[in-house]
Every structure is written in structure tokens, then in C-alpha cells.
Chain A
Amino acid sequence: MFGFTALGVLLAMALVLVRGLAGPTVYDRILAVNAFGTLTVLLIAVHGFLSGRPDFLDIALVYTLINFIALIAVTKFAKFAHLGGPFEQRSWSDV
């Protein structure tokens, strides 16, 4: 049962990857990456049950968070072409 689900999710991942590679506009690619991330989370959760060690779901949780943060960064880059702003008039020194 879990095996079937895992294979199904893998097939969906392949489909999403094709859209990612082919995607004409950058927004298609961002969509593909978002869907790919969610499907990976599902794959890890299903595999946890498949291998009989369901207590590894922290990894799936981390994937969700990282997927969200990477997505916000990509979208912000697609829209504003920089990640730092908004820059109020405040200067600082790093060194």
C-alpha cells in the first residue's frame, strides 16, 4: 500500500520536473519547484511508514519550512531582483 503511494508520488515528481525543465517563463519554474518540494515532503512521510520508522517526520517538517523560505526568496528575486530591501535610510558596518 505504502509502496504504491510512494511510486505514485515519484511519478508525479517526474511530471512536475518536466514542467520545471521545459517551463518557458520563470514563474512556471517557481511553480514546479514549489510542487516538487511538497511532493518530496509526502515521499519522506510515506517512506517513514514504508520502512517502519515513522518517527523521522521531523525531516519532512524541515523540508516544508525550507521549501517555503526558498520559495519566498525566489519570488522576491523574480519581482525585485534583490533580496535585501526594503532599505530604510539606515547604514551599518559589517566589519
Chain B
Amino acid sequence: MVAVLLDGLSWLCLVAGVLAALIGGIGLLRLPDVFSRMHAAGLIDTLAAGLIIVGLVLQSPSWTVAVKLILIIVFILFTSPTATHALARAALHGRVLPWLGDRSSPSEGAPSSKA
């Protein structure tokens, strides 16, 4: 019984993780400028990675594997935000202005600001 529950739960996590990754990917493509794309990239780093690794932890045959997986997710959750923060500061320093959108007319496909 527990095995079936574990399988079901991990299968759920994995599917959710893959969906999160795909949404992140599509978001990275369609969003207009760097700062909004950071949300999409963040989505991949945190949600997708977290769900998939939790799915794997549920399936892991031994404790050592589970510990390694947890270590990986801790590292990812620790390094990605730091790196994205550094990137955001660098983008600002590079005078990349966030796209504020055209309040007057909801024109589609506003020009993304170039560095």
C-alpha cells in the first residue's frame, strides 16, 4: 500500500516538476524583457528542480541517495537566487531598463529594451 502511495505521489511530483520546467521554458521565450524573464528562469530553478528532486527522493532506494539529492536541492536553492541577484544588479548596472509597458494603449509585443 505504502509503495503505491509513494509511487503515485512521486509520479505526481515528477509530472508537476516537468510542467513547471516547460512553463519556465516557454516563459523565458515569450516574456518581453530581461527582468520578467528572470521570473521564468527562477521558476525553473526553484519549482521545477524542487518538485523533480522531491519526486526522486521518494523513489530513492537507499538513504545515501536521498541525502545526496537533498544536498543537491539545497545547493540549487542556495546558489541560484544569489546568482540571479548578481545578474539583476549587473543588468541594472548595464543600464537595461525594465519594460514598463505602454499604459495608454495595450499594444501587443512592446519593444524589449536593448542593452
Contact = CB atoms under 8 A, between A and B. Distances in A.
Interface of A: 1-2, 4-5, 8-9, 11-12, 14-16, 18-19, 24-28, 30-32, 34-35, 38-39, 41-42, 45-46, 49, 54-55, 57-58, 60-61, 64-65, 67-68, 71-72, 75-76, 78-79
Contacts, number: 161
Interface in B9-56: 10-11, 14-15, 17-19, 21-22, 24-26, 28-29, 34, 37-38, 41, 44-45, 48-49, 52-53, 55-56
A34 B84 contact: yes
Q: By DSSP majority rule, is chain B's interface helix, strand, loop, or mixed? A: helix
Given A25-B115, A61-B75, A5 B64 contact: no
B44 A27 contact: no
Interface of B: 7, 10-11, 14-15, 17-19, 21-22, 24-26, 28-29, 34, 37-38, 41, 44-45, 48-49, 52-53, 55-56, 59-62, 64-65, 68-69, 71-72, 75-76, 79-80, 82-84, 86-87, 89-91, 93-94, 96, 112, 114-115
